[in-house]
Chain A
């Protein structure tokens, strides 16, 4: 189905949403927030800020949560995809961004695409990869599925779902045993190598082959190629991060870069590819529960003081709830009011039924969106917003940390309003007389509090077609890669060394057994996007609706043929979908997307086992059973 844009505010009356004026809707929204905070304190409020909206909106959004409502309970859907990358990278390097630039992947010698179907999910990034391949780079694809990415690889390592850590450990062990680790770099720039060496020792090629399903020779070849390369890029996507131990997965990959010195140099680095246009920026702007704008730690009193002075309000000296904790807190009655900006958790969260139940327990739910999504249909107040990328001015930050200008090309439909304008209206009703003359003023305020953005004026962003952070002053540009400091010979300039992580293999939570013998993994298709709200609006000739993709062997064993509807059940729910035969899958592995939740609610099957550090759910590994439907009569 395709969605109609929201054109006027809605409020709930006698259980149904009816049209309202802006005045009424804003008053109702503000009143509900005030009532709940008065009764239960500031932490009864939670905000989900939009990873799709501009940096400027996210800055004002998190400021609204922190200053107007007085809580750090602000997060975004970055939780459902790349929070582990941020958590892993910042734990090692002190900064949560990918370390390289797209150009570098063209100029490198070895490219490892780990859990990344970039050919279909990030096609224009993959064009840079293809340039690299045409320039002579070797590419390795590590993925349970033989994806479009794998078709361009020198070698495809088809590992079992959820065995990334054993594979990474085996690669590390092989590198160490072959004497290919970079001893000078390890000694100067890292800590914990000896313990790390011991921790990977059990993962011989043979053991790893048994656990991961990848032939020992292939593991050896990847290890040697990566370690011997002058320059190597390690890229990953949701195949690494949508697991219950996702942050550990990310750390396992970072370990490989530390072991070989493939970080902090031109052409050598780590690239998590972001799934949404401004996931990077949302976090950078502080729309996460543990960081203030510019990725500055809330627990640092000096930083808090600076913001308290700039904003004229106290900031709680503790981390707020992340998305996963927010949902739990809703269930337990600690969070009673929620402001959702451009988020559709009812359809995007794992175990969607539990999510609906939790949202329905809220006293007051305000949804600001461009569509009447399933989540918006549950709201007490619905505020129609403009579409950030073409109906507003501002900036987005991409996967290579490039801040780029977003410009208004269209007027929003009906009475829909700009996000920042709506936030300011609500702030005014709650006692804060906010006003911004456009996005540039917001940006300049952000630049005054965030050192890494300080040098990025709008005119400079225009002039350079975007600038990568960090950019400290208005007349300098930094190198396109991060952490060059690790290569400094002077220990003072080198700064904090990067720690190796000691990790344990933890198989997917949803175990396979006789009742649920198949491993379901999920992902994205080329022409569709997330819950399909946006991408349903164009007639893609490639679209074929939701299917359950099976390998020919499994289809034959189950006695099903292409197009036949089957029942797919997990321990949490069950759905019906037609069969699609895909020889790129291996026996025992089945695949679905979550692009068509109105036809097939794939997330009724997925498990809400979450990463304890980053809170990301294990979308990539559910145990399911596929059954032939029996005709009645």
Chain B
């Protein structure tokens, strides 16, 4: 009696010479994952519609004039994909160089590893290369917006907007290199529509958005992920039953996330679940 999704045909594709079978409608990234290939991603979010903004996941598809973003391009029967071709590697290298030269990637997970893997040299544009360097916006006690680390992937805008939170507190302001993520009229968060759910922080891939606790601990040099544990439990406020993953360092909660594959939250929380842990 529960309506089932219509059955999905399986599609055969070739990834780096290896054949993989994935359900129709899967992305190339899904096929790569199924084939055990580690394709880098930044703007891709497992709970969001692909935005194709960062281009770090591009792969070579046989017969295609341009490189294809693996995170959004759907597989087709007989597709031949190269994840590690000269052209794909070169493109990723340049993307990483452009991002690395203009944005502070110091808190982006795996960025340093990729830069080394692809032989990227972000410094090659010289010392006077344009950057998005700016002071972090600290205008409330819950989370910080450090746009010097922002790669404009739009994930926070989508999470705040109609894909999840439907609060629409932030959007993209400006054009070209001057584009930024901004509240209306660049007002402080406290004068914006923000409801402090932190669902933008949850999806931020670079640490541009972070818990104030994390930001302060990093500034003080006490943030140490190797000493942190992650435990998933249930929120203690209302009866909806949101799953919280508590990041604990020295018996203190330093950050709260939620599992993205959870049927209750899909990775989203409200202000109480995400930030209301001060009492323990």
A residues in contact (CB < 8 Å) with B:
2-3, 5, 52, 102-103, 107, 121-125, 127, 130, 134, 152, 265-266, 273-280, 370-371, 387-391, 396-400, 402, 404-411, 465-466, 479-480, 484, 526-529, 533-542
Contacts and interface: CB of A to CB of B under 8 A. Distances in A.
Contacts of A102: 240, 263-264
A534 B162 CA distance: 31
B237 A529 contact: yes
B164 A127 contact: yes
19 contacts: A2-B279, A3-B279, A102-B263, A266-B3, A370-B280, A387-B279, A397-B241, A400-B241, A400-B264, A409-B233, A410-B251, A410-B253, A411-B251, A479-B2, A527-B196, A533-B279, A540-B142, A541-B190, A542-B271
B269 A124 contact: yes
Contacts of A400: 241, 264
A5 B238 CA distance: 21
Residue of B241, B259, B264 with most partner-chain A CB within 10 A: B241
A389 B234 contact: yes
Contacts of A534: 236-237, 276, 279
B253 A409 contact: yes
A51 to B, nearest CB: 9
A277 B238 contact: yes
Given A404-B243, A538-B142, A538-B276, A274 B270 contact: no
Interface string B208-231: 000000000000000000000101
A396 B234 contact: yes
B234 A127 contact: no
Contacts of B244: 389
A30 to B, nearest CB: 28
B249 to A, nearest CB: 11
A534 B238 CA distance: 12
Contact of A388 (B142, B197, B236, B268): B236
Contacts of B137: none
Contacts, number: 187
B231 A408 contact: yes
Given A127-B164, A265-B1, A527-B271, A406 B234 contact: yes
A410 B141 contact: no
Given A389-B235, A389-B236, A479-B2, A409 B264 contact: no
Given A390-B246, A396-B241, A266 B280 contact: no
B3 to A, nearest CB: 6
B233 A390 contact: yes
Contact of B236 (A387, A407, A479, A528): A387
Contacts of A480: 2
Contact of B234 (A121, A125, A370, A404): A404
B189 interface: yes
Contacts of B231: 390, 407-409
B277 interface: yes
B272 A529 contact: yes
Interface in B1-28: 1-3
Contacts of B147: none
Given A535-B276, A538-B275, A275 B238 contact: yes
A389 B237 CA distance: 10
A107 B3 CA distance: 10
B248 A103 contact: no
A125 B240 contact: yes
A465 B238 contact: no
B272 A527 contact: yes
A265 B1 CA distance: 7
Contact of B232 (A265, A396, A407): A407
A5 B241 contact: no
Contacts of B279: 2-3, 5, 370-371, 387, 533-534, 536-538
Contacts of B270: 123-124, 526
A231 to B, nearest CB: 10
Contacts of B251: 410-411
Contacts of B241: 277, 396-400, 402, 404, 466
Main SS class of interface, A: loop
Given A389-B235, A399-B239, A410-B280, A130 B268 contact: no
B91 interface: no
Of residues A276, A405, A535, which shows the largest number of chain B Cβ atoms within 10 Å of its Cβ?
A535
Query: Shortest 9 CB-CB distances between A and B: which pairs?
Result: A398-B241, A274-B239, A537-B279, A537-B278, A409-B231, A539-B141, A123-B270, A389-B236, A538-B278
A130 B160 CA distance: 13
A480 B164 CA distance: 23
Given A266-B1, A541-B141, 11 more contacts: A127-B165, A127-B166, A276-B237, A277-B237, A277-B241, A370-B279, A404-B243, A410-B251, A410-B253, A479-B2, A526-B195
Nearest to A536: B279
A524 to B, nearest CB: 8
A388 B280 CA distance: 10
B193 to A, nearest CB: 11
Interface residues of B, number: 55
Contacts of A121: 238
Given A275-B238, A399-B239, A408-B231, A124 B264 contact: yes
B253 A542 contact: no
B265 interface: yes
B140 A134 contact: no
Contacts of A542: 195-196, 271
A539 B272 CA distance: 11
Nearest to B246: A409
Given A537-B278, A538-B278, A122 B248 contact: no
Interface in B118-166: 140-142, 162, 164-166
Contacts of B266: 127
Nearest to B266: A127
B106 interface: no
B31 interface: no
Instruction: Point out which of A102, A399, A538 has the most chain B C-beta atoms below 10 A from its C-beta.
Output: A538
B272 A390 contact: no
B263 A124 contact: no
Given A404-B243, A540-B196, A541-B196, A274 B238 contact: yes
A466 B252 CA distance: 26
A558 to B, nearest CB: 29
A328 to B, nearest CB: 27
Contacts of A408: 231, 233
Given A410-B253, A535-B276, A541-B196, A402 B264 contact: yes
A389 B233 contact: yes
A400 B273 CA distance: 18
Contacts of A484: 1
Interface in B169-202: 189-190, 194-197
Contacts of B49: none
B71 interface: no
Given A107-B3, A402-B264, A122 B240 contact: yes
A526 B271 contact: yes
A343 B137 CA distance: 40
B107 interface: no
Nearest to A535: B276
A265 B195 CA distance: 35
A529 B197 CA distance: 15
A146 to B, nearest CB: 17
Contacts of A411: 251
A106 to B, nearest CB: 11
Contact of B233 (A405, A465, A538): A405
B4 to A, nearest CB: 10
Contacts of B58: none
Contacts of B268: 124, 127
B270 to A, nearest CB: 4
Nearest to A280: B239
A432 B259 CA distance: 41
B242 interface: yes
A124 B240 contact: yes
A421 to B, nearest CB: 18
